[in-house]
Amino acid sequence: MPESSTGQIVDDLMRPEAYPHPASEIGLRETHGALVFLAGEYAYKLKKAVNLGFFDFSTPELRAEDAEREVQLNRRLAPTTYLGVVDVVRGPEGRHSIGGPGASVERAVWMRRLPEDGMLTSLLQRGLVTSSLVRRIARQVARFHSAARTGPGVDEFGALSALAANWQENFDQLREFIGVTVPRQEMEIIRAFVERTLALDADRIERRIAEGRVRDGHGDLHAGSICLHGRDVVIFDCIEFSPRYRCGDVAAEIAFLAMDLQHAGRPDLAWTFVDEYVRVSGDSEIWTLLDFFACYRAVVRGKVLSIRFEQESDPDARQQIAAQARSYFDLATAYAGGICRPLLLVVRGLPASGKTTLANALSGRLGLMHVSSDVTRKRLAGLLATERAGSPFGAGLYESKWTDRTYGAMRRQAARWLDRGVSVILDGTFSDSKQLALATRLAQRTGVHLLVVETTCDDADARRRLARRAATNTDPSDANWDIYAKMRGAYSTPRQLANGDHYVDSSGGGGASDVVRHLIEGRQDQSVSEILEAASSGGN
DSSP per residue, 107-134: EEEEEEPPPGGGBHHHHHHTT---HHHH
pTM for the structure as a whole:
0.89
Q: Quote the Cα angle for 359-364-367, to 5°.
A: 100
Low-confidence ranges of the chain (pLDDT < 70): 1-4, 389-396, 495-500, 523-540
Q: Which pLDDT does position 397 carry in this prediction?
A: 73
Please give the pLDDT value at position 396. Answer: 65
- Residues paired with residue 454 on neighbouring β-strands, in sequence order: 348, 504
Mapping DSSP to helix (H, G, I), strand (E, B) and coil, where does residue 96 land?
strand
CATH superfamily ID and name for 340-522: P-loop containing nucleotide triphosphate hydrolases (3.40.50.300)
- CA dihedral in degrees (59, 60, 66, 72; nearest 10)? -160
Q: What pLDDT was estimated at residue 386?
A: 73
CB 111 within 8 A of CB 74: no
Nearest to 42 by CA among 130, 133, 114, 125: 114
- Looking at the domain 3-113, which fold is it? Phosphorylase Kinase; domain 1 (3.30.200)
Amino acid at 345: L
pLDDT at 522: 74
Region of 447 (left: φ > 0; alpha: ψ -120 to 50; beta: rest) is left
Q: What is the pLDDT of residue 282?
A: 97
pLDDT at 495: 67
Looking at residue 448, what is its pLDDT? 92
Cα separations in angstroms, 144 against 118, 137, 149, 215, 527: 21, 11, 10, 10, 42
218 and 142 in contact (C-beta within 8 Å)? no
- For 120-332, CATH number? 3.90.1200
Residues 6 or more apart whose CB falls under 8 angstroms from that of 280 comprise: 138, 139, 142, 143
pLDDT of residue 3: 46
Rounded to 5°, the CA angle 328-330-332 comes to: 70
| Residues 6+ away with beta carbon under 8 Å from 352 | 457, 461, 462, 463, 465, 466, 469, 477, 479, 484
| Domain limits, the chain | 3-113, 120-332, 340-522
Comparing CA positions, the residue from 148, 116, 111 lying closest to residue 228 is: 116
What is the rounded end-to-end Cα distance, in angstroms, of the chain? 54
What digits encode the pLDDT tens for the residues 303-351? 989 988 988 889 999 999 999 999 999 999 999 999 988 999 999 999 8
By C-alpha distance, which of 14, 8, 58 is closest to 33?
Answer: 58
- Helix residue spans in 447-480 (DSSP H): 459-472
The set of residues, in sequence order, having a beta carbon less than 8 Å from that of 401 and lying 6+ positions away, is: none
